[in-house]
Amino acid sequence: MEYTLENCQKLVDDWVHTFGVRYFSELTNTTILMEEVGELARIMARQYGEQSFKENEKDLDLGDEMADILFVLICLANQTGVKLEDAFKKSMEKKTRRDKERHRENPKLLEN
């Protein structure tokens, strides 16, 4: 199976209805999404920032946390009728139109 966003939305929906019984409410899933983003932020602060890992954080995995975020985001998309593949394509087109020269002309990005 190809892991397109469309297929991932179906996989998550199938999983929720098979193992999760039903979706949590949109508000609960939004809160869970923020929790997952916080877990990612913790790893980023320790791996790329000035904080150090605590002894019980040695096994945290950046990819796992990103995948957890994606799972909950897909749940929210499924619950609200958003087709992520279409939304992502539209967002990329918008960003390309709006920013095609903006970043190349940004002196802050040209500094080393």
Domain boundaries, the chain: 5-84
Is the pLDDT confidence value at 112 over 70?
A: no
Q: Which fold has domain 5-84?
A: Helix Hairpins (1.10.287)
Place 100 in a pLDDT band, splitting at 50, 70 and 90.
confident
Asked if residues 4 and 85 have their Cβ atoms less than 8 Å apart, the reply is yes
Asked if residues 78 and 13 have their Cβ atoms less than 8 Å apart, the reply is yes
For the chain, percent of residues with pLDDT exceeding 70: 99
Is the pLDDT confidence value at 61 over 70?
A: yes
CB-based burial, 74-98: b 16+ in 10 Å, e otherwise = bbbbbeeeeebeeeeeeeeeeeeee
Average the pLDDT over 36-40 and give the result: 97
Is the pLDDT confidence value at 75 over 90?
A: yes
Average the pLDDT over 51-73 and give the result: 93
pTM above 0.85, yes or no: yes
Residue entry with tokens 């940004």: 106
The 8 Å CB, 24+ separation contacts for 5-8 are 5/84, 5/85, 5/88, 6/83, 6/84, 6/85, 8/70, 8/74, 8/84
